[in-house]
Each structure stands twice: as C-alpha cells, then as structure tokens.
A and B are shown apart, each in its own frame.
Chain A
Amino acid sequence: MPSKAAIATDRATPKAGFGLTAGAWFAVLFLNLPILFIVLYGFTTDEQSYSFPPPGLTTKWFGVIIGRADFWHALWLSVSVAFIAMIAALILGTLAAAAMYRFKFFGQEVVTLLILLPIALPGIVTGISLRAAFDLADIPFSYWTIVMGHATFCIVVVYNNAIARLRRSSPGLIEASMDLGANSVQTFRHVILPNLATALLAGGMLAFALSFDEIIVTTFTAGQQTTLPIWMFRELVRPHQRPVTNVAAIIVMVITFGPILLAYYLTRDTQDVAGSGK
C-alpha cells in the first residue's frame, strides 16, 4: 500500500533525504576543497616544500609572475592552439552532427564509434599514435602538430552538444517552416541555427577548455614547444619558486570562471527548447 507520504515525495517539488543531501555535499566539498589549497599555497611564503599550515602569507608571487616572460609566452601559445582547435572542432563536429541527425545511412554506427574513439581510448594512445605517424611520415613537430592532436579529441565535444540539441528540438518546427514556404537554406538560417547556437557556443567553450588544459597528448606532439600545461609541469618539478605555479593556476581559474557560468546558462534549459512540447 502506498502511504500518503510516499506519494507526496514523488510530487512536483520533492525533498531529498538526509543521506542523499549529505552525499551530494560531500562530493561538492571533495571536488572543491583541493582548489582552496591551490589558492592558499599561492600565498605561502614557503617556496620549497609546501608545509601545512603555511608558515606565512605573502602576495609577492603575483609580482613574480608578471615578470616571467616564459609564462606569458606559454599562456599565449595555449590560448592560440585552443582557439584554432576549437574552430576546427566546431566546423567538423557540427557537420558530423548534421549528417548523423538528418540522415539514416549504412555504417552510421561505425561513424559514431569513429567520432567517439578519440576520447574513448586513453589519451596516451592518441599521443603515441600521432608520434608514431609523425615519425613514419617524417613530419617535424610544429604548432600545427599540436593543433592536429587537439582538434581530433575536441570534435566529439562539439558533436555531442550539437546532436543532443538537434535530437531534443522538435521536427515539427522544421516541418512548420517548410509548410510556411521557407526553403531548406532559410529553414536552416532562421529555425535550426538559432536553436543550435547556444549548444554550439557551449560545445565550443568545452572544446577550448579541453585543449587549453591538455598535457597527455601534447607532450607527444609538441616537440620543444611549451604550452601552458607543459610550462607548469616543468615549474612543478623545479625545486624553487613553486608558488608561482599556483598563482598561474589562480589566474587561469579567474579567467575561465565566467565562461563556465555562461555555458551553464546557455544549456540549462535544454529540455524546454522551443517546440519540444514535453
């Protein structure tokens, strides 16, 4: 027999049990407390060992990083690689999503697998494969070898966002547009694209972030070039001025916080996309 309470909890605004709430907040703390440590150690006066609690606090590391040309160089390289990889991923990912949504064709499953494979296989496989290919084909390391690696695993992020949005938007909208006399170019321009735009923006930003932070594949394709993650890795294993790396991380976090919020607001209402009617 269902009790009244049982029915009530399943109604529109349910309340979570204590265990569930505790579990959820545990995950939040687990995910974010270490970030506080990153910030804390950006201010420590201890430049070698990072003891806890820190012996003293200082802001001098922020001054140090401004004078570090190698940091700004690495930051710029990473931004520019991530931007180009994002553009390539946006074009290729959207095209793939359009083909997969619009058509049913032989071998569709194979294509899905092919798109997913670069993130389904460990990054080291992508890295060593590209390295093996560059070695066989005698391609020297360059800016473009980094971009090639990054674009490959960024396609899937854009593809996923785009196809999810396409599947959720109602086919009725497209039919209505055609019934009202729009041709398919107009339908694309005035109906599909506005519907897809926020998903593409969110997918693009995720692709950017993924590329910006990548080190596993990059070490195999960068040669002597220093992207920001590679710069950080070198700094971390150096025995002095360690807090500089933390300050670099804080700067990156502050810069990326805005886009995360934006991506969220752009995609959160996906179940209420116009015309979904559910």
Chain B
Amino acid sequence: MTAATAIAPQGPSLTSRLSTYFYLRPKLLLMLFLLPPLLWLGIVYVGSLFALLAQSFFQLDDFTGQVIYQPTLGNYARLFSEVNLSIIGRTLGMATIVTIISGVIAFPIAYYMARYASGKTKALFYVAVMLPLWSNYLVRVYSWRLILAKEGAIHWAFDAIGLGWLLDAILTLPVVEGSSLSTSYIGTCVTFVYIWLPYMILPLQAALERVPRSFIEASSDLGARPSQTFRKVIFPLAVPGIAAGSIFTFSLTLGDYIIPQLIGSSRPFIGQAVYQFQGTAGDIPMAAAFAMAPIVIMAVYLSIAKRFGAFDAL
C-alpha cells in the first residue's frame, strides 16, 4: 500500500494537472515556447532591419546636416557610383579569397581532430582552436600588425635568412603592392584568415565527427582505397560543414571594419564605408543604403549555402 502511494500519489498533483493541460493543448505550449524568442527577434532584430530599410530612403540635407524624412532614391544612386562599386567589389573579392584559404587551412586540422586525435591530444587541439577565439579580438588583430610591420617579426625573419629581397619583390607585385606586409592586401588577408579560422574549423570538425565509422568501414569492406573512401564518402559528408563555416568567414569578412582599418592599404572596405557615413559624416541614411549591399550579397550567399546543407551543420 505504501509502495503504491509512492508510485502513484492520490489525486492529480499540480504538476501532473499542468502536464495534462498542456498535453491536451500542444498549440498553446508551442506558443509559450516560441513566442518570447520570436517577439525578441521579430521586434529588436527584424524591426531594426526595417528601420534600416526605411532610413535608406531618406536623405541628409547637405547644408543643415538634418535628415529629410521624404522617400528618395538618391542614396542608391550614390551607391552605384564608381567609387562605391569598387569598394563593394574589393570587399567581395577579399571575402571570397579569405573563405577559400580558411577552408584549405581548416580541413587538415578539422579532419585530424575528428578522426585521429583522442584523449589528451584532442583536448590540446580543442584548446588550441578555442584559445584564439576567446582571447581579445582587437589585440589579436593588433598583434598581426606588429608581426607584419616593417620592423616586425616576419620582415625581420626574412632578412635574417637572407630572403628579404624575395619579400620586397612580392610586395612590388601589382594588386598586393605595399611598402610592408602590414600595408598590403596580403596582410589584410592573412589577418582575416587568422581571425575567422576557428569559425571554419569548428563546424567542419563537427560535420566530420558525425560521419559514422560504419560508413567508412563499409566503404573499405566494399573495396574502396582510403583515398576513394575520402573522396566518395567522407568529403561529401563534410560539405555541409564547409558550407556552414564559409557563411561565417564570408559574412564576417564582408562586415568587418577594424581589420582593414588597422592593417592594409588605405583603400576602404564596405564596413569602413558604413562606419564612416554614420560616424564622421553623421549620414545614417547613406550608411543604411550602403549596408544593403552586404545584406543582398549575403541573401544570395545563404541561398546557395543552404543547398549544400549548411543550415543543418551550423
């Protein structure tokens, strides 16, 4: 008798009545779960995006410095000027290169972590990937400026082994040209790759980790060589991870204004343009119109990445 009461207490308790109540009204429970995050994202985030869109159609009066709240396409006409298009093109090119290089550097370490490292080694690798992510972003950017500077470690090392002329020759090439690595596109690119690399490694490693061992064994049982197994089984299953990681490397490069400001030639990127319009110029409408460029680019990019299964690997 006592045992029976312990298992099934007499009369429905509050929690079980609550449980039954929601069991019979699943839609209510769904609303209860979904409403707070939806309201937050809907009001704060989507609301702000609409505010951005609205602002992009207003215009700053050049004489008074006041915003005129009348719809106009003036900002967009300015956006399609040659100067601004070249800023967008430059940023797009940089984001593409950074994404590709990140993928190439990330794959070996992600693959090694997922398939070969275990125990202490795995913990070490994990910390090695996470530590940079957790240490201060600005200081990491700045440390690259120091490493890449004329008086910094890389120039010093090249000179020490007598290859200073090679570095100088590389720096006179068209496009990359700069007086030192820290004032050339190479420097900007290296720093971008460095800062965003963990964002590529982590989803890629997670995707590789999800490849069932039985698939790999089945593949080799069916007579595939390790290289064939890699090409036909492992790599295709890693693609969603690469696509997920590439969203970060691409998007983060597209919107960053600190790195190109501290490292690289003085030619501006999208982020700097937006920042300067809203800050120094006080022209929020033009900054808003400029911010539409990365939004449109990312919309296209996301729809492509989605086809590769990126959203399931984030």
Main SS class of interface, A? helix
Q: Which residues on B sit within 8 Å (CB–CB) of A248?
A: 136, 139
- Across the interface, which residues of B come within 8 angstroms of A23, CB to CB? 105, 107-109, 112
**Roughly how many angstroms separate A14 CA and B137 CA in the complex, as a whole number?**
36
Task: Judge if B87 is at the interface, Cβ distance under 8 Å.
Answer: no
**A95-B36, A114-B38 are known contacts. Are A125 and B291 too (CB-CB below 8 A)?**
yes
User: Which of A6, A113, A115, A213 meets B225, CB within 8 Å?
Assistant: A6
Nearest CB of chain B from residue A24's CB, rounded to whole Å: 4
B37 and A130 contact, CB distance less than 8 A: no
A122-B252, A220-B278 known; A155-B40 Cβ under 8 A: yes
Known: A31-B132, A103-B30, A121-B251. A152 touches B147 (CB 8 A): no
Q: Say how far A236's CB is from chain B's closest CB, in angstroms.
A: 5
B170 CB-CB contact with A under 8 Å: no
- Chain A 13-24 per-residue mask, 1 if CB under 8 angstroms from chain B, else 0: 011100111111
Question: With A and B bound together, what is the CA distance between A75 and B20 in angstroms?
Answer: 48
Minimum CB–CB distance from B153 to chain A (whole Å) comes to 4
Q: Which of B30, B139, B223 has the most CB of A within 10 A?
A: B139
In the complex the two chains form, is A136's CB within 8 Å of B54's CB?
A: yes
B138 is contacted by which of A148, A184, A236 (Cβ under 8 Å)? Answer: A236
Complex contact A32–B128 (CB within 8 A): yes
Residues of B within 8 A of A10 (CB): 216-217, 219-220, 226, 229
CB pair A271 B294 closer than 8 Å? no
From A38, A120, A151, A160, residue with most partner B Cβ within 10 Å:
A120
Complex alpha-carbon distance, A146 and B18, angstroms: 37
Binds A, one of B41-49, B73-81, B173-181: B41-49
Residue A226 lies at the interface, judged by CB distance under 8 Å to chain B: no
Question: In whole Å, how far is B125's beta carbon from the nearest beta carbon of chain A?
Answer: 7
A81 to chain B, nearest CB (A): 15
Contacting B19 at CB < 8 Å: which of A155, A183, A265? A183
Q: Whose C-beta in chain B lies nearest to the C-beta of A180?
A: B7
Query: How would you classify the secondary structure of chain B's contact residues: helix, strand, loop or mixed?
Result: helix
Instruction: Say yes or no: B294 contacts A125, CB within 8 Å.
Output: yes
Nearest Cβ distance between residue A19 and chain B, in whole angstroms? Answer: 8
In the complex, B151 has a CB within 8 A of chain A: yes
User: Which of A24, A30, A130: most chain B CB closer than 10 A?
Assistant: A24
Q: On chain B, which size bracket covers the interface?
A: 35 or more
**CB nearest to B123 among chain A residues:** A264
User: What chain A residues lie within 8 Å of B314 (beta carbons)?
Assistant: 116, 160
Judge whether A186 and B15 touch: CB under 8 Å: yes
B192 surroundings in chain A (CB, below 8 A): none
A38/B138 in contact, CB under 8 A: no
Q: Which residues of B contact A256 (CB under 8 A)?
A: 134-135
What per-residue 1/0 map shows which CB atoms of A121-154 lie under 8 Å from chain B? 1111110111111011100000000001001100
Q: Assess whether B34 is in contact with A30, with CB atoms less than 8 Å apart.
A: no
A124-B108 contact given A1-B223, A98-B33, A233-B138, CB 8 Å threshold: no
B127 at the interface (CB under 8 A from A): yes
Expressed in whole angstroms, the Cα–Cα distance for A113 and B270 within the complex equals: 24
A30 touches B134 (CB 8 A): no
How far, in Å, is B150 (CB) from chain A's closest CB? Answer: 10
B242 CB–A CB distance under 8 Å: no
For window 16-63 of B, CB contacts with A under 8 Å fall at 16, 18-20, 22-23, 26, 29-30, 33-34, 36-38, 40-42, 44-49, 51-52, 54-55
**Do A124 and B146 form a contact, CB below 8 Å, given A114-B38, A232-B139?**
no
B136 touches A27 (CB 8 A): no
A6 to B220, CA, bound (A): 8
Q: Which residues of A contact B123 (CB under 8 A)?
A: 261, 264-265, 268
Interface status of A64 (Cβ within 8 A of chain B) = no
Q: Are B147 and A34 in contact (CB under 8 A)?
A: yes
A2 within 8 Å of B (CB atoms): yes
- Closest Cβ of chain A to B192, distance in Å, is 13
Q: A-side interface residues toward B, CB under 8 Å?
A: 1-2, 6-7, 9-12, 14-16, 19-24, 26-28, 30-32, 34-35, 37-38, 41, 49-53, 88, 91-93, 95-96, 98-99, 102-103, 105, 111-126, 128-133, 135-137, 148, 151-152, 155, 160, 181, 183-186, 209, 213, 215-216, 219-220, 228-229, 232-233, 236, 245-246, 248-249, 252-253, 256-257, 259-261, 263-265, 268, 271, 278
* Other A-B pairs beyond A93-B37, A209-B133, A216-B271, 6, CB < 8 Å: A114-B42, A122-B252, A123-B252, A135-B284, A181-B8, A246-B139
21 CB-based A-B contacts, threshold 8 Å:
A11-B217, A23-B108, A23-B112, A27-B106, A27-B201, A37-B143, A99-B34, A105-B30, A121-B298, A124-B255, A124-B256, A125-B52, A125-B255, A129-B291, A183-B19, A184-B23, A185-B19, A209-B134, A232-B139, A233-B258, A268-B126
